[in-house]
Amino acid sequence: KTYTQDEIRSLVKSEHVEFLRLMFTDLMGSIKNVEVPTSQLDKLLDNKLMFDGSSIDGFVRIEESDMYLIPDLSTWMVFPWGSEHGRVARLICEVYTADGKPFTGDPRNNLIRLMGEMKEAGFTSFNIGPEPEFFLFKMDENGDPTLKLNDKGSYFDLAPMDLGENCRRDIVLEMEKMGFEVEAAHHEVAPGQHEIDFKYADALEAADNIQTFKLVVKTIARQYGLFATFMPKPLEGINGSGMHLNMSLSTAEGNAFYDPKGELELSETAYHFLGGLLSHARSFTAIVNPLVNSYKRLVPGFEAPVYVAWSGSNRSPLVRVPNARGNSTRLEIRSVDPAANPYLAIAAVLEAGLDGIRNKITPEDSVDRNIYVMDEGEREENHISNLPDNLHNATKALQADPVMKAALGDHLYQSFVEAKRLEWASYRQSVTKWERDQYLEQY
């Protein structure tokens, strides 16, 4: 819903809001916020609220640090949880430079830019339904996270196995108060692991929702003495956390992926989008799996994809076509993890798909057999490549693809690649417990 300035002014009064939390997202996907008292409301609505962007990850140099926060009034929301100092509302903002232009280093601005490209290509929305997974760990008496999981539950377990149930229910209730339509919430396969699915939305709103969701999960978990993490693979030997993205494009006529006369009832647009996704999958991996740790999840044996392939029936490949048709016709990409910056991840898959549509890229045939039992030769025969196996190789693949550079735009692309190279360089110098366990006594 969009609000006028006057509606926001009266909502501040009628909801007794004392503080406005102005939010945006940095390069790495962290939510940043500036809190201002409601006395600053007029200044904010006049687009005159400035902040210093020089210390924000991936933003700007000192000499051009003054930036404006331009509120997106459609993101108005009052936090349901109480505050002793009065109620707090949030507005998600677009970052503008001192000379009044959208700042190209703002991941949200970049997604807005790509939505413009999508409209030029003839579509009205890019629908995204995320399935974020997370772990709940116990906290110690100082409120620091431990590595003790809060339960021994497994897929779809009920209490008392699932001690996280009350916490998860509270998260769902808070989300509903905030206007989310929660479709399902359940215990995941690993102990202490949960999934909450909410209804798909157009790309920008979906990315905003993912950011808000993470904030709610972390806030409510704390109230239960639990620590929630979206780290992709916090513990070895059990599943990691993914964030499958369900995707479809709409036109004024409806779901552009559905064609009752097409093969598998999928439209040509769906096949071309799929072709683009698969052909850029290796190069956008760094964006959708951005951490050194992300690659500890993308290994065989833990339900995460490893190979570039698609299927209409099998649940294990990189891209799956869920059974639903009609308005629910969609593609599901399963590599994405919840550490990804959602604005960048959605921009990357959108640009990959649009590239497939522009260049009429036809995907390889679907692979409906279990890829994990094929040997390398069989995979080669079937044109199945591997996803990059670490952040270093993923960053190199990203650098080799001009389409992904266009998806991020120069500023974000340069800062992202630079940050990932530094991250890898730092990781390379670390000596891990695994190495000491293996080598210390043997050599």
Determine the interface stretch with ligand ADP among 45-53, 75-83, 192-200, 306-314 (rule: CB under 6 A).
192-200
Q: Determine, following the binding rule CB under 5 A, whether residue 208 of this chain makes contact with Mg ion.
A: no
The answer to whether the CB of 313 falls within 8 A of the CB of 368 is yes
Residue 334 designated active-site:
yes
Instruction: Supply φ then ψ for residue 379, to 5 degrees.
Output: -65, -40
Residue 439 · residue 383 · CB < 8 Å = no
Q: Is the peptide bond before 37 cis (omega within 30 degrees of 0)?
A: no
Binding of residue 195 to Mg ion (CB under 5 A): yes
From 256, 244, 262, select the one nearest 327 (Cα to Cα): 256
Cβ closest to ligand ADP, residue 70 vs residue 347: 347
Task: Count the neighbouring beta carbons within 10 Å of the beta carbon of residue 21.
Answer: 18
Helices (H), 368-401: 376-381, 391-399
Here's the x/- map for ligand ADP, 250-279, by CB under 6 A: it reads as -----x------------------------
Site string for ligand ADP, 165-184 (x = CB under 6 A): ------------------xx
E-only strand ranges, 152-205: 182-187, 193-198, 201-202
**Site size for Mg ion (CB under 5 A):** 3
Size of the site for ligand ADP (CB under 6 A): 18
Amino acid, single-letter form, for residue 264: L
One of 7, 35, 52, 140 is an active-site residue; which one?
Answer: 52
Determine, following the binding rule CB under 5 A, whether residue 157 of this chain makes contact with Mg ion.
no
Residues contacting residue 141 through CB under 8 Å, at least 6 positions apart: none
Cβ proximity to Mg ion: between 44 and 136 the closer is: 136
Is residue 131 flagged as an active site residue? yes
Task: Give the contact letters, 195-234, x = binds to ligand ADP (CB under 6 A), - = no.
Answer: --x-xx----------------------------------
CA nearest to 248, candidates 318, 355, 356, 331: 331
Stretch that binds ligand ADP, among 27-35, 234-242, 327-335, 353-361 (CB under 6 A): 327-335
320 carries an active-site annotation = no
Give the residue at shortest CB distance from Mg ion: 244
Question: Which member of 209, 241, 248, 294 binds ligand ADP (CB under 6 A)?
Answer: 248
In whole angstroms, what is the distance from residue 294 CA to residue 285 CA?
Answer: 10
Q: Which of 90, 194, 244, 296 binds Mg ion (CB under 5 A)?
A: 244
User: Of 7-15, 191-199, 213-221, 251-259, which segment contacts Mg ion by CB under 5 A?
Assistant: 191-199
* First-to-last C-alpha distance (Å) of the chain: 65
Is 435 assigned a catalytic role?
no
Please, are residues 184 and 197 in contact by the beta-carbon 8 Å criterion?
A: yes
188 near ligand ADP, rule: CB under 6 A: no
Contacts of 416 (CB under 8 A, 6+ apart): 27, 58, 286, 287, 344, 398, 408
- Which residue's CB is nearer to ligand ADP, number 246 or number 289? 246
272 counts as catalytic: no
Question: Which of 25-43 are b and which e, b meaning 16 or more Cβ less than 10 Å from the residue's Cβ?
Answer: bbbbbeebbeebebebbee
Nearest residue to ligand ADP on Cβ basis? 129
Closest distance to Mg ion from the beta carbon of 149 (Å): 17
Residues 110-169 that bind ligand ADP (CB under 6 A): 127, 129, 131
Q: Which of helix, strand or coil describes residue 187?
A: strand
In the complex, the residues that contact ligand ADP under the rule CB under 6 A are: 127, 129, 131, 183-184, 197, 199-200, 244, 246-248, 255, 322, 327-328, 330, 332
In the complex, the residues that contact Mg ion under the rule CB under 5 A are: 131, 195, 244
The residues annotated with a catalytic role in the active site are 52, 131, 133, 188, 195, 244, 315, 332, 334
